[in-house]
Amino acid sequence: MLQFTLPAESSPTTVEERARILAAPGFGKHYTDHMAVGRWSQDRGWHDLHVDEPHDFSLHPATAALHYGQEIFEGLKAYRHPDQSIWLFRPEANAARFAHSARRLGLPELDERLFLDAVTRLVHTDQAWVPAHGGETSLYIRPCMFASEPFLGVRPASEATFFTIASPAGPYFADGPVGISLWVSRVHARATPGGTGDAKCGGNYAAGLAAQTEARRHGCDQVLFLDGAEHEWLEESGTMNVFLITQDGELITPELGTILEGVTRDSVLALAREHGLTPVERRIGMTEVRERCTAGTITEMFATGTAAAITPINRLLDGDEITIGGGDPGRRTIALREHLLGIQHGTRPDTRGWLTRVA
């Protein structure tokens, strides 16, 4: 049976150096002692699957991914619980989404079982890198696949490389969740029907960077993308899905289609009723958001994604400024956030079987 082989020996980071990094890991700056790698070719299928010391790739200048963006990725986390055990949150959802993204981008599908094998073996090998329980820290895991065939013709590549790296992550909000501001992008869109909006591919991010720069220039933290045709309907914030809470207890989020189907989004929808909220997936326009924020019938807004779990949104900039609720993180947003983080970090019961033990 195909699986990722483990390294015979390795020269890990010293205990002291690792402790120094884990004391203040930041995000995406430090990497663990190993990576998982696998190769695919049309002739051989998946082969050479192994966990190895981190190493650079050497790429021919004609490598297809560099020219045509045939690349996909995933993001998930491992959490240390109070009893020191280590758990993944819904990794099978990431495996399924990776396969979906591969189909959309013309890349070979990696069997979901092999995806989980790569992730669990890497985390198990580098378990000393999962930060201590407490303080909302975790090990961020980044699987990725790219077209590695050197060929300048335009067609799905006949060679692909899969790899997974891991990076310790500090608390997203060191002093508790502060709300962010979103700049409503009326010019740039991130996706259109039939496009790649529902695939987790690097190209979507590249296409969103100009809007992100524009948001910063206007003093906002992130972008809020609208639909590409009418520039009216809410989509998402480029790296996070968005939610609105109404005075009468609806939890509204844009319906699936052109947005990325977030695992956090799905989890928040599942938790809604326990918080007295009715989950609603539907089209929602900026006209309605503006009117109802002004009237005070939309009281809270937040964004969801693996990196920050739930991020409160305090204001939107759309020509003029739209303040949400009192302009501070909402009460129900904070309650949902604490619930989700509690499940992930092992301090609230996991009644849905969302957690998978790794060590």
Ligand X SMILES: *Cc1c(COP(=O)(O)O)cnc(C)c1O
Q: Note the residues at the interface with ligand X (CB under 6 A).
A: 75, 200, 236, 238-241, 260, 262-265, 304-306
Give the nearest distance from C-beta 267 to ligand X in angstroms: 8
Length of the chain: 359
Closer residue to ligand X in complex, CB, 222/299: 222
Closer residue to ligand X in complex, CB, 240/245: 240
What are the distances in angstroms from CA 269 to CA 179, 245, 257, 351?
A: 20, 12, 16, 15
Closer residue to ligand X in complex, CB, 299/306: 306
> CA torsion, points 269, 270, 275, 280, in degrees to nearest 10?
40
Give the nearest distance from C-beta 317 to ligand X in angstroms: 20
Closer residue to ligand X in complex, CB, 32/264: 264
The rounded distance, in Å, linking the Cα atoms of 215 and 220 is 5
Q: Is 299 left (phi over 0), alpha (psi -120 to 50) or beta?
A: alpha
Residue 10, phi then psi, degrees to nearest 5: -160, 160
Give the nearest distance from C-beta 304 to ligand X in angstroms: 6
Give the nearest distance from C-beta 275 to ligand X in angstroms: 18
The rounded distance, in Å, linking the Cα atoms of 136 and 104 is 34
The rounded distance, in Å, linking the Cα atoms of 172 and 13 is 25
Closer residue to ligand X in complex, CB, 120/306: 306
Give the nearest distance from C-beta 40 to ligand X in angstroms: 23
Which helix (H) or strand (E) covers residue 45, if one does? strand 45-52
